Structure 1
Amino acid sequence: MKAKIFLVSLIAVSLLSGCIDHSSVEENAIIQMAGYDKGENKRIRGTVSIPQYEGSGEGSPATEVYLTASADGVKEVEEEIQKQSSKPISIGKLSVTLYSMELAEEGISDIIDILSRDPRISRNMFLGIVDGDTKDVIESKPSSSQESTSSRHLKGLIDTNTQYNFPKTNLHRFLYSYYAEGMDPFLPIIIPKDSTVELDGLAFFKGGAVVGTIPESKSFPFRMLKENFKRGMQKINFEGGTIMLDNIGSSVNYEMKGTVDDPEFDIKIDLKAEVNEMVGINREATPALAKEIEKASVDFFEKNADELIQMFKEKEIDPLGLGNFAKTRKRNFDLTKWKDNYSDLKVNVKINVEITEYGIFS
């Protein structure tokens, strides 16, 4: 009996595997990166990168082909690009999608809706906002890149930096924040710079439109407010010189107090860091100096945290998800009333910094 069951199972697996759509680089035009800009007459201009492998597979050296088309919507852009390709277009391995700041500020709700419904797209895909044209970024692989294609370079750029100063982000996280009650999404900003591209800050959404940004220098303080993380560095001015802190562990905890009608938040952050560089500070490393650096660091981070929270209130956005946090912990929580009172929400940020080790003096 067991032998029969095994045989039937084996046949079923064989039949199912035969139904899987296998996309090969020889038979399909596999899009790995796409970008969308504002086109003429309220249209969308889409650009894609398709790797071309010289050998017989993805391990071979690769170049890229870039195709561009304009249409009224994202799906139509895909159709127009297909007309330019001699092979069937495949987006199953799309790893990076970019949107121009100009387009995102006008609103990309329709595009987000399509992303959330398309089963072909991986939820691990990275998204980004380009300060400029996405077409230029896609078509110009930085000469300094160690990757063979621009799509691999951009994927690596976002992935690596979200292990340091930038908060974690991908399509899954973006959609969760976009659709959740009491939470708003954000994406990294990418800029062309000289012969390369780099992450330059964060763009914050209200609904489907970008309504505010912060520079790269504030990404570390924002991440401290948002999530626990290790790694990352922050420069702090101190006594006419500068100190570089190397994060070895940052943890954040939210606590909600008060009533449903008049809530109050305490945000407590503990940061352990090493001083890996001091420039322009001619003082001997002593416990007293360590305490002074800790105090200066606390003042710096609390000031930045307060400024960020004030900006979020002014823009009426909640990238920290405080509303979502409150909704899950208070009965009869009224999200509409929360939004009405959000600008007056009391948020107390308390940061503790512990310097564990000194590094380089110069």
Structure 2
Amino acid sequence: MKKTTITLCIICILVSGCADKNYLEKMSIVTGIAYDKGEENLLRGTLSILQFDPASPNISHIITGENDTTKGIRIHADREASHEIVMGQLRVVLYSTALAENGLLSLTDTLARDPNITDLLYLTIAKGEAGKLLQPESTEGAPTPGNYIQRLIEKNVANEQLPESNLHKFNHDLYDIGIDPVLPLLDIEEEKTKVYSVALFQDDRMVTALDPDMIFYLLLLKNPYRKGKLQLSLDAEDFKDYIREESYEENKDTPLDIALQQIRSSSTFHSRKGEPAKQTVRISLKQRLLESTLQLHFQDEQLIKKLEQAIEEEVKEKLEEFMEILKDHETDPIGFGKRYRSAHGKNLLNDEEWRSRIKDLDVTFEVNVELQRYGIID
């Protein structure tokens, strides 16, 4: 027993003596990087750095440099930083719109090849310059702008307001056949970074940004909703028989706006072998009607059926508008091509063939809506 105790003590001493010691006070921890076009075709990088310095009240720092490559920018940052630059806590990378429109393959590839960088970090697009998004002082308690943007995206993904956008997902959709990546599009307003929209890609090139109202329909087709939210404007004239008289007289020239929450959805995709561009999508929506701008007689079952039908028609119309956007820009963020290959054989359709067929997509939507609760606030 005594020999065993002595042996364990010796092992612990040897292990602790051989381990590398990394002191936070001696490291500059990169939490976010923004890339823009620099001068003379150079790449400009802006690094959001967390540095624990007991002598300084400010632990957040920004370093900017230009070089031909991302690794060159890091070398420049090392020359400017008083402590060693470490990348292990990098959580968000932002690209300017100009870079994204030219293609991100070389920039995302170098991230994927770096063993010190997690493939769960978030990729985002900045409306205009990316570096400006790492400058705002308003970070709501986050230690750096990089951490703030990470939290912003995490919250919106968890709340089903944004699609998943980490490095792993981007590369998976980039290299897979029959699907294109999407990334969040961020902007700055009143010195605060916010989610502006979603950028659609054709392979690694950004081709357009969705209208914010269309994000719901992108997500509806990509993944099932579990707690989605949606606001719709309906024609009040269609519901005048169910609107309380005093409410209708006061607001007869305004639309009937309704807020839907706790949306749960499911979608099934159908296609015939040999007809990849012709598909049918059946969508089921169950939701709670939380708010209405006009006072309705919700005890009338005919009203509920009429509301469900109106919502079905509105959702179907918006989905058709969304499809026109995809066809105009020849992009497939939903994965219609991937779903066809999965259903009928992966050898039946290659990437080039599918790209040429996107503009001919003919998708029929069948939408079924069920209102389950009517907790209304006027």
Q: Tell me, yes or no, whether TM beats 0.5.
A: yes
Residue 46 of structure 2 is matched in structure 1 by: 47
- Pick the aligned partner of 1:252 from 225, 247, 267: 267
- Cα distance, 1:169 vs structure 2: 2.1
Please tell me whether residue 102 in structure 1 is matched to residue 116 in structure 2: no
Residue 348 of structure 1 is matched in structure 2 by: 364
Deviations 1:305-362 (A, max 9, x none): 1122222122111111121222223234131333333322322222211111112332
Q: Which amino acid aligns with 1:134?
A: A
Question: How has the CA–CA distance of structure 1 residues 127 and 23 changed in structure 2, closer, same or farther, with 3 Å as cutoff?
Answer: farther
Deviations 1:263-303 (A, max 9, x none): 53221221111111111x13222322222222222122211
Residue 175 of structure 1 is matched in structure 2 by: 171
- Pick the aligned partner of 2:146 from 145, 151, 163: 151
Once residues 318 and 366 of structure 2 are traced to their aligned partners in structure 1, the CA distance between those partners, rounded to angstroms, is 12
- Cα distance, 1:157 vs structure 2: 0.7
Percent identical residues: 27
Does the CA contact (< 8 Å) of 1:131 and 1:191 recur in 2? yes
Once residues 16 and 174 of structure 1 are traced to their aligned partners in structure 2, the CA distance between those partners, rounded to angstroms, is 40
Please tell me whether residue 266 in structure 1 is matched to residue 261 in structure 2: no
Residue 71 of structure 1 is matched in structure 2 by: 67
- Secondary structure class of the residue paired with 2:344: coil
Q: Which amino acid aligns with 1:155?
A: Q
Residue 295 of structure 2 is matched in structure 1 by: 282
Q: Which amino acid aligns with 2:364?
A: N
Once residues 46 and 355 of structure 2 are traced to their aligned partners in structure 1, the CA distance between those partners, rounded to angstroms, is 38
Does the CA contact (< 8 Å) of 1:237 and 1:243 recur in 2? yes
- Pick the aligned partner of 1:207 from 203, 207, 224: 203
Once residues 158 and 58 of structure 2 are traced to their aligned partners in structure 1, the CA distance between those partners, rounded to angstroms, is 27
Question: How has the CA–CA distance of structure 1 residues 18 and 297 changed in structure 2, closer, same or farther, with 3 Å as cutoff?
Answer: farther
Once residues 34 and 369 of structure 2 are traced to their aligned partners in structure 1, the CA distance between those partners, rounded to angstroms, is 41
Question: How has the CA–CA distance of structure 1 residues 265 and 22 changed in structure 2, closer, same or farther, with 3 Å as cutoff?
Answer: farther
Residue 27 of structure 1 is matched in structure 2 by: 26
Residue 81 of structure 2 is matched in structure 1 by: 85
**How many residues matched?**
349
Question: How has the CA–CA distance of structure 1 residues 351 and 63 changed in structure 2, closer, same or farther, with 3 Å as cutoff?
Answer: farther
Q: Which amino acid aligns with 1:181?
A: I
- Secondary structure class of the residue paired with 1:26: helix
Q: Which amino acid aligns with 1:179?
A: Y
- Of 295-304 and 329-338, deviating more is 329-338
Q: Structure 1 stretches of 5 or more lacking a match?
A: none
Question: How has the CA–CA distance of structure 1 residues 312 and 24 changed in structure 2, closer, same or farther, with 3 Å as cutoff?
Answer: farther
- Cα distance, 1:17 vs structure 2: 11
Residue 134 of structure 2 is matched in structure 1 by: 138
Q: Which amino acid aligns with 1:350?
A: E
Does the CA contact (< 8 Å) of 1:199 and 1:216 recur in 2? no
- Cα distance, 1:187 vs structure 2: 0.3
Once residues 163 and 182 of structure 1 are traced to their aligned partners in structure 2, the CA distance between those partners, rounded to angstroms, is 26
Does the CA contact (< 8 Å) of 2:24 and 2:52 recur in 1? yes
Question: How has the CA–CA distance of structure 1 residues 29 and 302 changed in structure 2, closer, same or farther, with 3 Å as cutoff?
Answer: same
Q: Structure 2 stretches of 5 or more lacking a match?
A: 237-254
Residue 249 of structure 2 is matched in structure 1 by: none
Higher-Rg member (1/2): 2
Once residues 286 and 41 of structure 2 are traced to their aligned partners in structure 1, the CA distance between those partners, rounded to angstroms, is 50
- Secondary structure class of the residue paired with 1:89: strand
Question: How has the CA–CA distance of structure 1 residues 275 and 81 changed in structure 2, closer, same or farther, with 3 Å as cutoff?
Answer: same
- The TM-score with structure 1 as length reference comes to 0.88
- Cα distance, 1:16 vs structure 2: 11
- Secondary structure class of the residue paired with 1:53: coil
Q: Which amino acid aligns with 1:118?
A: D
Please tell me whether residue 236 in structure 1 is matched to residue 251 in structure 2: no
- The TM-score with structure 2 as length reference comes to 0.85
Once residues 285 and 311 of structure 1 are traced to their aligned partners in structure 2, the CA distance between those partners, rounded to angstroms, is 36
Does the CA contact (< 8 Å) of 1:51 and 1:62 recur in 2? no
Does the CA contact (< 8 Å) of 1:247 and 1:271 recur in 2? no
After superposition, the CA RMSD in angstroms is 2.7
- Secondary structure class of the residue paired with 1:155: helix
Residue 344 of structure 2 is matched in structure 1 by: 330
Q: Which amino acid aligns with 1:283?
A: L
